[in-house]
């Protein structure tokens, strides 16, 4: 079986996502026009992968999600301020899943959704393709080049195609695997090291549960080194790289692994 890769995100004082948000804020101030266009592009890619299925490729409603252009909340949203909590918390009881995107990622998606406002033409509606068919062989090639360094269809993903009720569920499962614990190591000023599952992190404190089950809260003074390791970070990073085609192909391939 392939070695399970893990990415080390080294950060001092900040969680990985906070660090990313801050870098982007600075960039946005430096070059507004170019970064605005880049944000829309990134948002379009993320939207296509995660939101389009339910809300439609043009945000005018899809398989199960409502039209977002008619939404009061979306109309009032500024830079993702109202959309972010909906995406990050979801409304699980109403069919809107929680999606683990950073605030910066949702801001990009919001920028993309807001580009639709200028054009209210319902006749221009893009119809989602009614049948989604991927090419399993192309999916196998994609899997070999992108996924096989961490997974194997004879090992950890053995029988994956039979585990889900339908292709939709399988697709969500590989696009956004969920519920895994994030690990953290805190090296204190006196070289003492605390390691465990991350419960909480912000600019001031890190909360973790150590192997013996004890909960610790470390107040950050600036001299500690904090390393957050999220085993699913590679999946989050990949989300903006897949094309629609890749997604359908990989799903078709995995569906046949039984």
CA angle 190, 195, 201 (to 5 degrees): 95
We find the least distance from the C-beta atom of residue 212 to ligand HEC, in angstroms, to be 22
We find the least distance from the C-beta atom of residue 170 to ligand HEC, in angstroms, to be 8
Using CA atoms, how far residue 130 sits from 53, 63, 69, 126, 252, in Å, is 11, 10, 21, 12, 16
- How far is residue 189's CA from residue 221's CA, in Å, rounded to a whole number? 9
Question: Would you say 221 and 189 are in contact if contact means Cβ atoms under 8 Å apart?
Answer: yes
Cβ-based nearer residue to ligand HEC, 126 or 205: 126
Cβ-based nearer residue to ligand HEC, 45 or 53: 53
Contact positions toward ligand HEC, by CB under 6 A?
A: 4-5, 50-51, 53-55, 64-66, 68, 71-74, 83, 86-87, 91, 94-97, 99, 109, 143, 146-147, 149-151, 157, 160, 173-174, 177, 180, 231-232, 234-235, 238, 250
> Taking every pair of C-alpha atoms in the chain, what is the biggest distance, in angstroms?
66
Cβ-based nearer residue to ligand HEC, 13 or 101: 101
Cβ-based nearer residue to ligand HEC, 24 or 55: 55
Question: Would you say 195 and 181 are in contact if contact means Cβ atoms under 8 Å apart?
Answer: no
We find the least distance from the C-beta atom of residue 224 to ligand HEC, in angstroms, to be 26
């Amino acid at each position: 079986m392939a070695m399970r890769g893990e990415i080390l995100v080294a950060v001092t004082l900040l969680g990985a996502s906070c660090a990313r948000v801050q870098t982007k804020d600075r960039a946005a101030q430096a070059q507004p026009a170019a970064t605005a266009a880049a944000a829309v592009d990134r948002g379009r890619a993320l939207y296509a992968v995660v939101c389009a299925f339910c809300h439609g490729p043009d945000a005018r409603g899809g398989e199960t999600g409502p039209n977002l252009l008619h939404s009061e909340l979306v109309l009032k949203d500024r830079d993702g301020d109202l959309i972010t909590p909906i995406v990050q918390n979801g409304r699980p009881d109403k069919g809107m899943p929680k999606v683990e995107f950073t605030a910066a990622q949702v801001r990009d998606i919001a920028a993309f959704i807001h580009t639709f406002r200028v054009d209210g033409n319902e006749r221009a509606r893009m119809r989602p393709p009614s049948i989604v068919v991927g090419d399993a062989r192309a999916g196998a090639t994609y899997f070999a080049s992108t996924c096989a360094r961490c997974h194997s269809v004879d090992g950890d993903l053995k029988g994956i195609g039979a585990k889900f009720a339908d292709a939709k569920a399988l697709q969500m499962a590989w696009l956004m695997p969920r519920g895994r614990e994030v690990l953290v190591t805190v090296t204190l000023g006196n070289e003492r090291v605390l390691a465990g599952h991350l419960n909480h992190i912000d600019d001031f404190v890190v909360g973790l549960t150590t192997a013996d089950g004890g909960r610790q809260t470390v107040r950050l003074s600036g001299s500690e080194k904090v390393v957050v390791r999220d085993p699913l970070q590679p999946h989050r990073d990949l989300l903006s790289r897949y094309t629609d085609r890749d997604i359908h192909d990989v799903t078709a391939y995995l569906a046949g692994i039984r």
